[in-house]
Structure 1
């Protein structure tokens, strides 16, 4: 009984010491995988007692019901993500090249422009009663969501959906070294070959050029059109767009060092990967449970994710995959959007599957990057699991801790990287290189001049 009283007292003390903050969460990407991350982030924030306003495109397909939750509907963004942007035939033919950082930037700038121009967002920004302690914005290769902090005048946190990469690190620190850190859309795994290092350097230089000289003009135009008039109408300062986009307090990364490379990161980048994983794994539907229980040789789950559809694969590829799957001894579950005729006995088509519930019994999954990192180290999976779970706090707890830390420290200025104050040419010592090259050039000119004097005087000496 004494122990129970102690536990109850501790719980009450915890709730009493926790301040409730008003948080704005911006997750406008109309992709199911992004929606899962956004939904679980607000779940943790709400569970901690905070009030959350959630900008989301999934109001028509999901039910959001919580007394501390307000929704800003940007479901019109789903029209932006039409089938042409995820047509696998166009991707395979090269008509859509998602490895082109310029294309990715343009697509995400257009999405951000659509979001800021949404009437619901516009009304929300104009409402003088809206006040927040902190803003969390999803970083999707566009800096434009940073403008929300100008309206609400509070700290801003970026949320990155993938492993650390130069695109997000440049916002709070400096780009990562391309000699050992992969670009976010190439998928190379360090250590790189010479060719891969050249490729990584080229992609980063190209991306930095567009980020510095091309994209800001378009983004600033949107800022001037949609946000600046609101700031002036409300009598608030109008910060420079360049100042806003580098003013984030923190990056919360959907990453964990055990699943990627241990690259040096600034203190204002914090891993929270795994926060979206439900600890209470739901039981499988009866048909899938029976299928997996009877799979003597294990199960392979094949899925192209939430954006790319298997039904759009060329017929020849569908037939080829079925032929390969049919030769395997494992049971294959293929997430497919329509029924397939004449499938091998070991291949089972499902239009939807509870992926997390399936993972425990799988022998293999289809994610390319995860495969490169993990398949080569199958014997170390348990070791990786231990490293992942051996942490001072769970990912969801880390999420709330760092959000609250930013609010309590008024933007966490103590975590701000000094690298933001140092231009890239100075970080790379290009100015020193210029001085050295200039000195070498001067020395060579002097030596050449001296030699020319000697050679010009030689004939006179011979005549004398």
Structure 2
């Protein structure tokens, strides 16, 4: 009997060490499915560890969980209404400067859309909710950093797109532009003089116009949505960026260029990779019968191959037909027409 009481006492003492549960606000305001497919793995792990998680996202959970509370942005922003897919296929955003402005514009649009959702407004106005941690996607949603100030808790960000200069700057790093290429260019760390000059010019443009144009708009947005619900003056979002406790970046040293780092910048690329499952029989057979290997071709989840102009589809098929490798193309329907013998299409591929 005495032994039972000792075991019970030990259990009571050790439980706080092994079963600590935190209240976490987990936010992914951007509507692209590919972003959420990466982020949801973090959510699943948090729930498995017993934490109480409230999500703010465009994508309902595939399975219910007793520790999960969902705030679903509905309707989600239809980016194609503002940035038509056909413009991308027609290469209307061909310069790095236009692409940078496109990112800023889409970030402002998606942030404003999410903050205008009535359920999100209720969260902002809440007085009785408390959180121990805020987790936010690091993707042009700086106005959402104000949630960490509202709930007076640390914030961790998830960098779905990989590294960007502003992440370095927020952590106190000066990005060496002579060896670290800008996010939007495909250079390596061994740049020519002309490439270093262009990389520096683009990076300076990014830093200045982000500071003079983009961040002030995010600050105005944050003040407009949070101002009436937080006592005292609101901090500047650029200061909130510097208060981010940890950035988990979708990058890996084996695939990215060498760059300086800090303890608060952690590479986590591949964290979503789980134990493999058997492929469908037809795909496995296709792979097994491909003597020269297989090329997988997809334009992503937001972009659709079916939106591609027919002349571009024909050009791509003609190029594929000249390859010795077989090709798997994620094509959303069967309207593609005649296929070369080495090309197989499917609407979704595991």
Calculate the TM-score normalised by the size of structure 1: 0.68
Instruction: Specify the alignment match of 2:11 in structure 1.
Output: none
| Contact in 2 for aligned 1:98/1:185 (Cα 8 Å) | no
Instruction: Specify the alignment match of 1:426 in structure 2.
Output: none
Deviation at 1:32, TM superposition (A): 1.5
Instruction: Specify the alignment match of 1:298 in structure 2.
Output: 293
Q: Secondary structure at the match of 1:257?
A: coil
Q: How many residues are matched?
A: 334
Instruction: Specify the alignment match of 1:90 in structure 2.
Output: 87
Distance of 2:52 and 2:233 partners within structure 1? 26
| Contact in 1 for aligned 2:165/2:182 (Cα 8 Å) | yes
How far does the alpha carbon of each residue in 1:330-382 deviate from its partner, in whole angstroms, 9 at most, with x for none?
A: 2211111121221112211101000xxxxxxxxxxxxxxxxxxxxxxxxxxxx
Deviation at 1:285, TM superposition (A): 1.8
Instruction: Specify the alignment match of 1:57 in structure 2.
Output: 58
Distance of 2:321 and 2:175 partners within structure 1? 44
Q: Secondary structure at the match of 1:245?
A: helix
Instruction: Specify the alignment match of 2:305 in structure 1.
Output: 310
| Contact in 1 for aligned 2:168/2:174 (Cα 8 Å) | yes
Distance of 1:183 and 1:65 partners within structure 2? 40
Asked if 1:117 corresponds to 2:116, the answer is: yes
Instruction: Specify the alignment match of 2:3 in structure 1.
Output: none
Instruction: Specify the alignment match of 1:351 in structure 2.
Output: 347
How far does the alpha carbon of each residue in 1:78-109 deviate from its partner, in whole angstroms, 9 at most, with x for none?
A: 32x2265251x412544335733233212212
Gaps of 5+ in 1: 1-12, 355-464
The 5 A counterparts of 1:248-397 are: 248-278=244-274, 280-339=275-334, 340-354=336-350
Distance of 1:75 and 1:34 partners within structure 2? 17
Distance of 1:352 and 1:342 partners within structure 2? 19
How far does the alpha carbon of each residue in 1:16-58 deviate from its partner, in whole angstroms, 9 at most, with x for none?
A: 5242111111111111210111211101111222111111101
| Contact in 2 for aligned 1:86/1:308 (Cα 8 Å) | no
Q: Secondary structure at the match of 1:162?
A: coil
Instruction: Specify the alignment match of 1:43 in structure 2.
Output: 44
| Contact in 2 for aligned 1:334/1:350 (Cα 8 Å) | yes
Q: Secondary structure at the match of 1:163?
A: coil
| Contact in 2 for aligned 1:147/1:245 (Cα 8 Å) | no
| Contact in 1 for aligned 2:159/2:250 (Cα 8 Å) | yes
Structure having the higher helix fraction is 1
| Contact in 2 for aligned 1:179/1:192 (Cα 8 Å) | yes
Calculate the TM-score normalised by the size of structure 2: 0.88
| Contact in 2 for aligned 1:97/1:103 (Cα 8 Å) | no
Deviation at 1:152, TM superposition (A): 0.6
RMSD (Å) for aligned C-alpha atoms: 2.1
Distance of 1:217 and 1:330 partners within structure 2? 50
| Contact in 1 for aligned 2:189/2:258 (Cα 8 Å) | no
Distance of 1:57 and 1:99 partners within structure 2? 28
Instruction: Specify the alignment match of 1:136 in structure 2.
Output: 135
Deviation at 1:329, TM superposition (A): 2.6
Gaps of 5+ in 2: 1-13
**CA 1:219–1:163: 2 relative to 1, 3 Å:** closer
